[in-house]
Amino acid sequence: MSRKNKLRKFAEILSFPNVFECYNAQQPALVGVDMTPIDFRGHWASQHFNNNQPITLELACGGGEYTVGLARRFPDRNFIGVDVKGNRLWTGAKDAMDSGLTNVAFVRTRIEVIDHFFAPDEISEIWITFPDPFPRSSKVNRRLTSPFFHDKYRKILKKDGLVHLKHDDPDFYEFTLETIREDAQCRLLYSNDDIYASPLEYPELELKTLYEGKHLAKGRTIKYVRYLIG
């Protein structure tokens, strides 16, 4: 993507009513349209979505294909995509607005500070779709299913909150299963190292991100883990 195109998207996203951004992870705070400060922590459903429907987060959402796809499939729920790249979020946010979807929002931030923007028991589910697997051992705590991030999720998820991982990387898949086994507060509900080898257990797995499409084109198998964080 050209620098000019990125700058255009950065400028446009400032006017999107469904996008909120954090510019400094050292001092976490969100701004909305025209850099207006906002604080929906504990009140996302009532103050932004204007309802009392449950909220699902998609972490490392990229272009937001899964966030928007889930919102279309489940109109009785709210969905928030989270990613650090604003030019990626532009795609999903624009799609949601063009489609008239009011149950979708996006937050640009580092996921390490996610608990600054959501209150305890505010989130019902988390989807983690094709994040950077961080294969080097020195970066293991940056994996989004590491104990470090599980502790973050516990601060915002409802009791026995549901977590979904969808990925192509076999090492990341096995790492996630090991993390679940070693955490007494986690409970594995389902795992599959090749979801398309047989009829899908869950229909929402039909949705595909841009990266998933690329992985499938290369012949990679897609893995899925569904578990509870107590």
Residues designated catalytic: 132
DSSP per-residue letters across 50-112: SS---EEEEET-TT-HHHHHHHHH-TTSEEEEEES-HHHHHHHHHHHHHTT-SSEEEEES-GG
DSSP per-residue letters across 161-199: EEEEEEES-HHHHHHHHHHHHH-TTEEEEEEES-GGGSS
Chain centroid to Cα 139, Å, comes to 20
Which amino acid makes up residue 90?
W
Which amino acid makes up residue 150?
H
Rg (CA), the chain: 17
Question: What is the phi/psi pair of residue 34, to 5°?
Answer: 55, 35
CA 30 → CA 1, 3, 8, 177, distances in Å? 26, 25, 21, 33
Strand pairing category for 157-167 and 123-129: parallel
